[in-house]
Amino acid sequence: MYNKVSPNTIISFENATFHQSLDISRSNFWCKVQFWRIEINSIIPSEFWLYENDMIEDTSTKNKKKALIKIRESYRRIKQEFNQEGNNIEALKFHEYEMHVYKEEASISKDKIKWEDRTTLLFNECSNNFGSSWLRGLWFTTKVSLLFYTIFLLMLCIFNELHFNLSWTSASDTLKYFIQFLNITVWEYKPFGLTTYNGLGYLVFFIGRIFIGYGYYQTIQAFRKYKSN
């Protein structure tokens, strides 16, 4: 989109619904651009051929990379406009869109994007949906806590000959030590009266604490999503 406009011109997108995303990645808006009440039905469109080149025609190519780069840049520009207006709510929404597209881009550009970055994107999506959902943060923390606590208990059963029985006392102790397992500030962890446990148990305990701490951090970050800049 090439616009012959003066710097004092205002281009406004109002009450617009884009069914298959949009592409303003290379639009030369040398003026003020406003976005108000715009909706994106498909964050990642199914008709990629619309974005792969400047000709609106079906190219039958399977390469999505060019299209994803254009779509991601479009979301970034809209996010930037909302940030400049101080509209943190809409800016966060388009940041989420931008990161979803980047994650898709990373999945098909493994030779260009490092595996560390792909892993970071995956964990950010799973843990709080790129900073937009504290409920997902809680769910992520709960899942990783239960996973590592269960593995930790298995280590105790194998190497410390810990045995469980179906009783209220056993269930109560298991719950009590699970809650203590969640407290990442206490490292003198002695469940079920044990003073020491196998090296594998320590390893599971240590890695579990890292993931639990990460879950706490991501949950807090999502809670603070509407903070002022």
3-state secondary structure 64-108: CHHHHHHHHHHHHHHHHHHHHHCCHHHHHHHHHHHHHHHHHHHHH
CA distance 153 to 34: 56
Whether the predicted pLDDT of 182 surpasses 90: yes
pLDDT tens profile 55-65:
555 554 456 78
Mean pLDDT, rounded, of the chain: 84
Taking the alpha carbons at both ends of the chain, their separation in whole angstroms is 31
Work out the average pLDDT over 58-75: 74
pLDDT tens profile 22-42:
888 777 776 678 888 888 888
* Count of Cβ atoms closer than 10 Å to residue 15 Cβ: 8
CA distance 205 to 194: 14
Enter the pTM of the model.
0.78
Beta bridge partners of 86: none
Q: How remote is the C-alpha of 83 from its chain's centroid? A: 20
Question: Higher confidence at residue 130 or residue 21?
Answer: 130
Give the pLDDT score at 50: 66
Among 1, 150, 123, which residue's Cα sits nearest to residue 74?
1
Whether the predicted pLDDT of 145 surpasses 80: yes
Whether the predicted pLDDT of 215 surpasses 90: yes
- What are the residues whose beta carbons fall under 8 Å from the beta carbon of 145, sequence distance 6 or more? 178, 181, 182, 208, 212, 215
% of the chain surpassing 90 pLDDT:
32
Give the pLDDT score at 144: 97
Whether the predicted pLDDT of 18 surpasses 70: yes
Both tokens of residue 121?
A: 């994107």
